[in-house]
């Protein structure tokens, strides 16, 4: 992979971990994700005159992406509501790169070779390990939570492929990314109001500063990813995104004082090894 693209996606992963850290301000998962989506839209709207509009050929893909992002929003919040994050997160984020790699090979003919494929498998192992927490009983899995987690993984795979193809057809990855966040914020806001009503607005408004910071990081993170998928294999970019769990774990150790457990060290070694394999692809 080109070193510039490789480095850019790692920056995107750090931004992704950053907005996940910023938004831990007391709202429930549903309200938090809705606030982030609306905040990202607020940041994206002023950028439309600068980046312009994507070409007409990309609009069907944009519509498909909106539907998949809404499904992701529903699936992830329901997974967190019904299950333990220690179960949900590694299943959703670990399964998605494997599904994306398989789908991109079957549908787009993207052959990752031995190095790229091995890198994805090793990275998934690292993602699962870094998500393990001490003291949790993960043997007794909640079937409903696991179902939602797998559904979430499918939506991640789906919108990764759709956005990669859509951005390639858009004429400008930047125009596609900005327009996606504009419409995504609108659809999320409408869905949240229909589901929760206007009563959620005052509660979310109290956290607008954190929401704006998180929304800006969210926009930056996925904007970079969308651009990267136009110049590199979609599966590799999608897999590299998952290094955000390593950045998140590092933030937790450095800023929150969480212990550096041996299993996290092993996970970090695996992820770094995976990065080397992907970089050499």
Model confidence over 201-253: pLDDT tens digits? 887 788 778 788 888 998 999 999 999 999 999 988 988 887 877 777 776 67
- Do residues 124 and 185 make contact, with C-beta atoms less than 8 angstroms apart? no
Model confidence over 162-184: pLDDT tens digits? 999 999 999 999 999 999 999 99
Look at residue 281 and tell me whether its pLDDT is greater than 70. Answer: no
Q: Which of 2, 20, 130 is nearest to 76 (CA)?
A: 20
Model confidence over 31-60: pLDDT tens digits? 888 888 999 999 999 999 999 999 999 999
Q: Collect all residues with Cβ–Cβ distance below 8 Å to 114 and sequence separation of at least 6.
A: none
Instruction: Please tell me what DSSP assigns to residue 62.
Output: H
Q: Which of 153, 210, 159, 202 is nearest to 184 (CA)?
A: 159
Q: Collect all residues with Cβ–Cβ distance below 8 Å to 194 and sequence separation of at least 6.
A: none
Q: What angle do CA 138, 142, 146 make, to 5 degrees?
A: 95
Q: Collect all residues with Cβ–Cβ distance below 8 Å to 140 and sequence separation of at least 6.
A: none
State residue 134's pLDDT score. 44
State residue 39's pLDDT score. 93
Phi, psi angle pair for 163, to nearest 5°? -70, -35
Report pTM: 0.85
State residue 247's pLDDT score. 77
Instruction: Please tell me what DSSP assigns to residue 140.
Output: S
């Amino acid at each position: 992979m080109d070193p510039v693209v490789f480095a850019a996606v790692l920056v995107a992963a750090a931004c992704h971990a950053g907005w996940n850290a910023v938004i831990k301000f007391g709202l429930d998962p549903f309200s938090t994700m809705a606030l982030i989506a609306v905040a990202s839209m607020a940041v994206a709207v002023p950028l439309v005159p600068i980046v312009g509009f994507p070409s007409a050929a990309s609009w069907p893909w944009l519509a498909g992406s909106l539907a998949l992002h809404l499904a992701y929003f529903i699936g992830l919040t329901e997974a967190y509501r019904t299950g333990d994050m220690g179960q949900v997160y590694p299943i959703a984020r670990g399964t998605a790169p494997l599904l994306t790699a398989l789908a991109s090979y079957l549908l787009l003919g993207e052959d990752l070779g031995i190095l790229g494929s091995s890198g994805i498998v090793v990275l998934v192992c690292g993602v699962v390990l870094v998500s393990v927490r001490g003291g949790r009983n993960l043997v007794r899995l909640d079937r409903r939570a696991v179902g939602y987690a797998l559904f979430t993984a499918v939506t991640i795979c789906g919108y990764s492929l759709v956005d990669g193809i859509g951005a390639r057809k858009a004429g400008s990855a930047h125009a596609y990314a900005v327009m996606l966040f504009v419409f995504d914020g609108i659809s999320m806001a409408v869905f949240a109001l229909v589901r929760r009503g206007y009563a959620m607005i005052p509660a979310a408004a109290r956290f607008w500063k954190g929401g704006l910071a998180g929304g800006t990081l969210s926009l930056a993170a996925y904007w970079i990813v969308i651009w990267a998928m136009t110049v590199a294999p979609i599966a590799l970019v999608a897999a590299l995104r998952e290094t955000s769990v390593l950045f998140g774990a590092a933030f937790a150790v450095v800023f929150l004082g969480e212990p550096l457990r041996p299993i996290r060290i092993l996970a970090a070694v695996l992820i770094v090894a995976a990065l080397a394999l992907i970089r050499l692809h």
